[in-house]
A and B are shown apart, each in its own frame.
Chain A
Amino acid sequence: MARLIRTEKEVEGRYEEVWLVVEEDALDQWPEGPLDVVGRPAARIDGLERARGEAVYTADVQLNGMLHAAMVRSPHAHARARSVDLAPALALPGVHAAIGPGEIPKLADLCGYQGAPVAAVCADTEAQARAAAAAVVVDWEVLEPLVDPDEAVRRGQLLSEPRVRERGDYERGLEEADVVVSGEFRTQTVLHNSMETHQSVVRWVGDELEVHVSTQYVWGVRDELASGLGLPADRVRVICNYMGGGFGSKNDAGDYTFVAAELARRTGRPVRCALSRREEHLAAGNRNATIQRLTIGARSDGTLTALGGEFVNAVGWGGWVAATDGPMHALYACPNVRSTLYGAKLNTPPMKAFRAPGFVEGTFGLETLLDELAAKLDLDPLELRRRNHADADASDGRPFSSKNLLECYRRAEPHWERRHEVRARSTDTVKRGVGMASQVWYGGGGPPSYAWVRVGSDGRAAVVTAMQDIGTGTRTAMAQIAAEELGIPLDHVTVSLGDTARGPYATLSAGSSTTPSIGPAVRAAAADARRQIEEIAEQRGTPGAPLAEVVSVLEDAQILGKGARGPNPTGMQVLTFGVHVAEVAVDVETGEVRVERVAAIHDVGRVINPLGAASQIEGGVIQGIGHTLSEERLLDPATGAVLTTSLDAYRLPTIADVPEIVSELVDVPDRHLTNLGSKGLGEPPIVPIAAAIANAIRDATGADVRSLPITREELLRALREAAERERRGAPAAV
């Protein structure tokens, strides 16, 4: 029987209440441990087409008569277009149409950041479109840009009211402390730089809109376009079968999709609007820079008495304020915590969610300062973390649906133990050390998400859901779940996803919410099909017969199963946990840091595909190493213009930068969470790596690095500061 209930759902740390239609979720979770298919390594079922170059990404979609659009963007960080003359563009060869500010809501004359779109043109070829865009004449009134986050806070130029979060009595907590450490930490602006740039191909089919888009959320794009264009939602079809990376930056339709839709409407032709790699560095979102002024107070036995911080997110011209203060509230049992979080509105490109937004930045500050505390207390950093373990949610006392952080710490011990041997391999110029950091993040997912499972007389099953696979292996995991539930081999299952016209609603692929949201729906759908097949077997007098035998009589008839993601456990906090242990080698003369080994231990409930899970962990660690050591979007201080606009200047890690990565998964199902007990793994692996590296640097050299990326300049500064401290007789590191 269907019921309508209201339940709480979390994505990227933001909570909302949603309506949900539930069937009774009568499925028991599977027993712990690897099963026939689930819990066993599986190669990607869509791997072959991707490897052969046969997979059609949005970048590869070529429709008959397709035109190419290019955007005209503000070259100034803050400016108003007094006038926009499209005529010179329209006069160029191959140009079909052009639109200017105000013609669609996404094109405006007031530009709050370099790269803000003001006009767009479309032409037969991309080169013609870009030439035409360059020919548009704009009379700019250049305004004063504000790019300094502290200055924005001083002036009150904020995205929203500052958020103060408090528990206990912070001032008293400080008084109770035997030791107080403070520090200012800075993290840089980081760019997603997915390999496939943001882009759409849009065409009108009658009065329906067909959209091919590189996205993490086909349904979200559908609803956004429908509402933005005044169309019934089911007249908008959004397709994304394969996409080349998102990491949080592709959760919405984007201005390029609206531009393409309007130009398609005017010309009657399909229109592609694709960002160039340069535009991707400019106007495709970012992980905003932060300034964190942190204080930790503790008793001499290491129990934390106070955690405090002032956090400034350099959000940019738009976006939202990510919870940089989140780890401070969530990680440890400290009773007295106070944080103030500012979202500075600046004339810089707006932030977008990027793999654990806020928590990557906040974990760097908190976990690095925590090790400074450990050094001051002469306490082992692992022991310090154990002593402050929160057995229940420290903010509201709710129990955790599952938490195996202590088990993660236990598994970290042999890796942590290596520090003596690692340090011993130091030389005069290359110092080696080991550091660690804890991880907390979300990952419970939530409703709604739905799936259908179709079984035919050949004993094969098709899973159908309008989900998207952003490269995390969703198709494969869903196939594994269906295969396990139906008791058939993995290669007897196909998964059809990525099309809002085909299949029921599924959630966005972000916030580590994919597996825990769509997984249970797939299992429920497969279970529904399985029950029907069992009923048929009963009727035919062959109860317990294998599925293939039962369905063999079906001919054209099919078994159709449907399933929905049930509610989250009430009164419980659903989080993921982990710990990283990093080994570094630091050249103390040149400031070069090499990460030599990372042990990444994560607790994310039941693991569906250990092979895919290891890839997620490695990928997150490597992306985190880029954040920590080499990536930074730089601005010209005078004009606010972006200086790092290409992949030679913006340095992603290469294969040569990869350390030995040992990944371990606790793999214990969360007994309170859905019929699977699985949480998401997309984001946890990127969260603690920066602090683990910074702490390893301190272990190796005694130097306190306080800003990301850890450039040569920053490291040499920290080494000089440490040398100065030692000269003055201050205590060195543990």
Chain B
Amino acid sequence: MDQPARPTRQRRSGRIGKAGLALVVLGILFLSPALLAQDWVKTGTSLGVEKVRLAVSDFKPSTTDPQNTALLKTFNDTLWNDLDVSGVVELVSKSFYPLQTPGQPPEVNFLAWNAPPPNAAMLAFGNLGAVANGRLTVQGWLYDVKNIQSPQILGKQYGDAASDAAARVMAHKFADEIILRLGGGIAGIAESQIYFVSDRTGHKEVWAMDYDGSNQHQITRLGSIALSPRISPDGSRIAFSALTKTGWEIMMYSLDLNRLVSFPHMGGTNLSPAWSGDGTKLAFSSSRGGDPEIYVADASGGNLHRMTTAKGPDVSPVWNRKTNAQIAFVSGRTGLPQIYAMEADGTNQQRMTDQGYAVSPNWSPNGQFLTLAWVRKYGPGEPGSSDIYLMDIASKQWVQLTHDGGRNDFPSWSPDGRHIVFQSNRSGSLEIWSMLADGTKVQQLTFSGRNTQPNWSWK
């Protein structure tokens, strides 16, 4: 351990010393009123902060409508799951909850919650009720149960037509509000979407689903092979690559119009489109010039510029969506594919991975990390399993997130930067899975057909 030695002080004359003292005293007197007028908060850290313990009490019925039973189950299950996988809170197990749970603020018994066994720091509670005319109302609160004097952090009310889907949406909204506050200003992902490829109809088409795997529905009906769907930042269009009569083309599907919209024919094999963070540009791989290279065009397909020239396949570009000034991509220029990063004008191409077979880079929303699929040890006799890794761009340090020995690929970041969705064959068939960005809370999202290449929406 090094203890920097304190520099010894030179002696000054007494006079200056006295002046110094006066200065300090004056300084104190001068500054303290100003400082007293502000609200000061003092806190600190050395190692890390543990997750806040949140108790989520089942919402109670506020009316006697018979629909409430089913709606409450949907609401409570959805709310619990959204908070459980959020990565922001640690949910206190319901087996520790007191027998009496609140449906309204006056019913909260603080001592029952903030002491063991629940030992909770926060409590989410509320009520839900449908009425005869088909209207559903939900009231929810988030309380700091250790702060009995001023516990309320959040109080919300939602209303909609009574339906299972509405109960689900309200639970998502309430969960997101909790996560926004407890997670420090980053919006929750409970209403985000995941776009992916599924062959369950007999052809690989683009599909979409809620972030938790519900509401899976088909988007394209091309009857060919559609791959690499990428949703635009504003959520209005999906760019993807499909096999057409003229070969592999970049295609554009408008979710607003519910149909394909035109995108220019490029020639060659065109793959893996990627949106810039402001939605104005698309990067993609094209072999229109003979060798697959990275190109950048406007979102309409015009203004095409070539970014790479090296011999060897260059594919799978992804933008740094925070700065829109960098692109990471895969290149086989040295043999097995490796991840490279470059400026968005093609300059300063740098290799990021040092060995093995590295593909499918995806840049984190905060600009700091890449997630990628990597077979670090490649060759005969090696297990050949492909795992999801996290790499810090600035330092190139990495950490392995999956360890199950299967084939894991196509990781995609959630908009909150806390979750990664990916494809894995660990269940015996190719399916879509999600996890927290530290490798925990791994969950399977799809269960039928073969499902691949997930892409998380931007909000």
Q: Are A and B a genuine interacting pair, yes or no? A: no
Chain B residues within CB distance 8 Å of chain A: none
